[in-house]
Amino acid sequence: MRIYLDHNATTPVHPEVASAMQEMLRENWGNPSSTTAEGAQARRAVDRAREQVAALVGADADEIVFTGSATEANNTALHSVARASDRTRFLSSTIEHPSVDEPLAFLGEQGSQVIQIGVDETGRLDLTSLRLQVDDRTALVAVILANNEIGVVQDIPTLAEIVHRIGAHLHVDATQALGKIPVDVATLGADTLVGSAHKFNGPKGAGFLWARKGVLLTPWIRGGPQEKRRRGGTENTSGIVGLGQAAELARVDLPVRATDSARLRDRLWEGILEGVPGVRRNGSEEHVLPNTLNVEFEGAAGELLLQVLDGEGIAVSAGAACASGSIEPSHVLSAIGRNPEQARGSLRFSTGLRNDEAQIDRVLGLLPGLVARAREVAA
């Protein structure tokens, strides 16, 4: 039985989500745009999912646009703002996901000014620097609510105040936060926000974009009246239903999930501190997702440790895997001041739904020996 401690990469599909999707595939395969009974039945399922997703983030169902991924949703949001605004300055942080970095870089190539605001050694955004950089030419500030690698959670409400004071747009990438911490668009003060089902026990290929009423969206994918002309293409109905079901479960179970994953994460960290010499935790211990633990094993290659653990039936993550599967030192760890050696020695553990104490204890039993072996190699 494998031990999966990589829930920030993706999560297992919840059985109730799988059932709901299966029912869609088998019984409710109509086209939501059709005016027939089959179409109406499919449309009802999609509408219900929209309400479930809206409830997860405290929004109106009308404000939710279904997409193929959070990446697509980020692209749609950033390009929409760029088109709608005559301002040409775009700010983000040094620890964004590539699905924000790359669309912004593309805007940069087209003549916009793109600036990344630094973070402190725990990964929290430098608000002083943000205050200095936000000006009346600033169209948008994009910030990752919870970082995928170190789990640091940003103070979005304070950020929102700074951003809105000057009339700029606040885009929040909540992909890694949903299902782990409460996410409420009003409390956050966001203008747009994105998420993806597979990070909270839903299916892959189902993301969403929330846009506050009044935000003008330009479709990123054109070709039909779907999603009120905000996203063309026949709806991925089973994926959307899976997303909706996963959103509902995440909303209802959130307090339990957060407590459980934090308890296991803390047990893991305490055990590592006790059993493995030469370790340090990357990122904030205070403002952090309940399930995420990023640890540097001094003098060991994280990439190799990952393989050794994989061989023992334990799934974790190291750095950022690129197209070939080769692992590059993480830009996030570099942004919080770790040198390339330290970044290479770091592993991410992320707990989730099916983990338990016995699993954590098995990992803790193996780690000291495996780390020692990996350290012999790294020299």
Partner 1 sequence: MSAGRIVVGMSGGVDSSVAAALLVEAGHEVIGVTMHLAGSDSRCCSLDDAEDARRVADRLGIRFYVANYKDRFREEVILPFADAYLAGRTPIPCVVCNRRFKFHHLMERAHALGADAVATGHYARIGTDPEHNAPRLLRGVDPAKDQSYFLFDLAPEQLRRIRFPLGGLRKQEVREKARKMGLGTAEKPESQEICFVPQGDYARVVEELRPAGLPGEGEIVDTHGAVLGRHGGIHHFTVGQRKGLGLSTSEPLYVQALDPGRNRVVVARAEELGSGGAHLSGASWTRGEPPPAGQPALVKIRYRHEAAPAKLVPGAGGFVDVHFEEPVRALAPGQAGVFYLGEEVLGGGWIDGPLS
**What residues are labeled active site?**
322
Distance CA 289, CA 148 (A): 9
- The verdict on 323 binding partner 1 (CB under 8 A) reads yes
Environment class of 212 (CB within 10 Å of its CB; exposed 0-12, middle 13-18, buried 19+): middle
> Does residue 324 interact with partner 1 by CB under 8 A?
yes
**H-run or E-run covering 320:** strand 320-321
DSSP class per residue in 150-204? T-BB--HHHHHHHHHHTT-EEEEE-TTTTTTS---HHHHT-SEEEEEGGGGTS-T
Size of interface with partner 1, in residues (CB under 8 A): 18
| Of 77-85, 165-173, 321-329, 359-367: span binding partner 1 (CB under 8 A) | 321-329
Which of 77/95 has CB closer to partner 1? 95
Shortest Cβ 44–partner 1 spacing (Å): 41
Size of the chain, expressed as the number of residues it contains:
379
Report the C-alpha gap between 66 and 208 in whole angstroms. 4
Q: Mention every residue, 6+ apart, whose C-beta is less than 8 A from residue 185.
A: 57, 58, 59, 193, 210, 212
What does the per-residue mask of binding to partner 1 show for 173-202, with x meaning CB under 8 A?
------------------------------
The answer to whether 327 contacts partner 1 (rule: CB under 8 A) is yes
326 sits near partner 1 (criterion: CB under 8 A): yes
Told to check if 358 binds partner 1 by CB under 8 A, we report no
Q: What is residue 121's DSSP assignment?
A: T
Least distance CB 249 / partner 1 (angstroms): 33
**330 within 8 A of 241, measured Cβ to Cβ:** no
Residues in region 274-303 near partner 1 by CB under 8 A? 303
Q: Return the number of the residue (65 or 301) whose C-beta is nearest partner 1.
A: 301
Phi, psi at 50, each rounded to 5°: -60, -40
Q: Contacting partner 1 (CB under 8 A), which of 310, 356, 357, 361?
A: 310
Q: How many CA atoms lie within 13 A of 2 on its CB side?
A: 11
Give CA–CA dist 166/138, Å, rounded: 8
Per DSSP bridges, beta strands 89-93 and 138-144 are: parallel
- Binding of partner 1 at residue 307 (CB under 8 A)? yes
Binding segment for partner 1 among 7-15, 258-266, 287-295, 369-377 (CB under 8 A)?
Answer: 369-377
- In the complex, the smallest distance separating the C-beta of residue 326 from partner 1, rounded to whole angstroms, is 4
Q: Which of 15, 225, 255, 325 binds partner 1 (CB under 8 A)?
A: 325
Does 377 contact partner 1 by CB under 8 A? yes
Q: Which is nearer to partner 1, 5 or 318 (CB)?
A: 318
For residue 358, the 8-state DSSP code is H
Helix axis angle, 15-27 to 237-275, nearest 10°:
160
Nearest approach in angstroms of CB 172 to partner 1 is 27
Instruction: Compute the least distance from the CB of residue 349 to partner 1, in Å.
Output: 19
Q: Which amino acid is at 317?
A: S
Contact between 308 and partner 1 by CB under 8 A: the answer reads yes
What residues from 11 to 30 belong to the interface with partner 1 (CB under 8 A)? none
- Cβ proximity to partner 1, 255 vs 311, nearer residue: 311
Nearest approach in angstroms of CB 374 to partner 1 is 5
Q: List residues binding partner 1 (CB under 8 A).
A: 303-304, 307-308, 310-311, 322-328, 340, 373-374, 376-377
